[in-house]
Homo-oligomer: A and B are copies of this chain.
Amino acid sequence: MQDVVAKSTERRFLKPFSGEAINPPPVWLMRQAGRYLPEYRATRKEAGSFLDLCYNPSLAAEVTLQPIRRYGFDASILFSDILVVPDALGQRVTFAEGEGPRLDPIREVAGLARLSLTNTGEKFGRVCETVSRLRQDLPRETTLIGFCGAPWTVATYMVEGRGSTDQGEARGWAYRDPAGFAQLIDILTEASIVYLTEQIKAGADVIQIFDSWAGSLAENQFQQWVVLPTARIVNALKSAYPHVPVIGFPRGAASQLAHFVEGTNVDGVSCDTSCPLGVMQMVAARGVVAQGNLDPLLLVAGGEALDRRVDEILDAMHGRRFVFNLGHGIVPETAPEHVAQLVERVRRSR
């Protein structure tokens, strides 16, 4: 046991979270397992539906490991989807090919009767089986990140029934009936705590909470539906697992990051593509790890422009608590060679 602890603290990824700025910084990429990789597309074909893949520990572990084998990232993120939580709660999720998720929407408090936390065990269990396998199969030096969607973002899909440009249905419900909407957020907060706790027990070293639609909220709503539920999750995890770092990702909310850091008690903040480097420096100056924020479309373009921007980000974050990442997930059109070019560029930096 002593040995495991000693070795795990050698993981490069964790150093910035212990206050140690390292050069080159740790690097991983959101959606590093995915359609841009031919080996992913091959495994995907074996799996049936997209959610079948998420619930298949053997295949989900395999696609998680693929980019680690290729690129040796410092961290690996569990292959899964943020909509596992509503699916496990009883609001069935399907993925229309090329069209994104579809759910039978819940738009008022009566619809919450369809959800039950007591039934989540089997589906959460399958995901955690993937985590256990990964903890065994990953190289010892690779950090394993578990994750969930933040309550606000998951709620937007549950209320809209799909992705949307402005999250209008969810925002409207929150204004019209804040007490009812709070019940939905509470259910999701509880479910997230259970789900993440199980992931940590199964072997996740770090947790990331994805709040992809945080940027559409007015600041008072951001406080209520993003900061407070995230703080509840972080504090619940911290009380049981004080040494597991938690990274928040309130996408589109660069102007509210100082407040997010203060209000949530997160250990790190993933910064989206539009977040200025000065804001990332401010995040790091607050004793929190800043992660980000290369534009995934620059990774598609490649070439010198990619190198130049990688260097700008590295220069701006040099000597600070920093993890190199994208500002959003890798897109399917990305050439795998460009990812190799990026990783090499980061690894060679001094």
Contact = CB atoms under 8 A, between A and B. Distances in A.
Contacts of A342: none
A96 interface: no
A228 interface: no
A301 B171 CA distance: 10
Interface stretch (A42-50, A70-78, A275-283): A275-283
Interface string A245-265: 000000011111001000000
A168 B331 CA distance: 10
Contacts of A172: 297, 300-301
A220 B217 CA distance: 25
A312 interface: yes
Contact residues of A: prevailing secondary structure: helix
A312 B255 CA distance: 19
A107 to B, nearest CB: 13
A273 interface: yes
A274 B220 contact: no
Contacts of A273: 216-218
A298 interface: yes
Interface in A159-196: 163, 165, 168, 171-172, 175-176, 178
A309 interface: yes
Contact of A175 (B163, B305, B327): B305
Interface residues of A, number: 39
Interface string A295-324: 101101100010001001000000000000
A157 interface: no
A244 B168 CA distance: 35
A136 B20 CA distance: 67
B256 A276 contact: yes
Contacts of A259: 276
A279 B255 contact: yes
A147 interface: no
B219 A274 contact: yes
A257 to B, nearest CB: 8
Interface in A124-175: 163, 165, 168, 171-172, 175
A55 interface: no
A116 B255 CA distance: 39
Nearest to A308: B220
A192 to B, nearest CB: 23
Interface of A: 163, 165, 168, 171-172, 175-176, 178, 215-222, 252-256, 259, 273-277, 279, 293, 295, 297-298, 300-301, 305, 309, 312, 327, 331
16 contacts: A168-B297, A168-B331, A175-B298, A175-B300, A215-B215, A215-B274, A216-B273, A216-B274, A217-B273, A217-B274, A218-B274, A218-B295, A218-B327, A219-B274, A219-B277, A252-B274
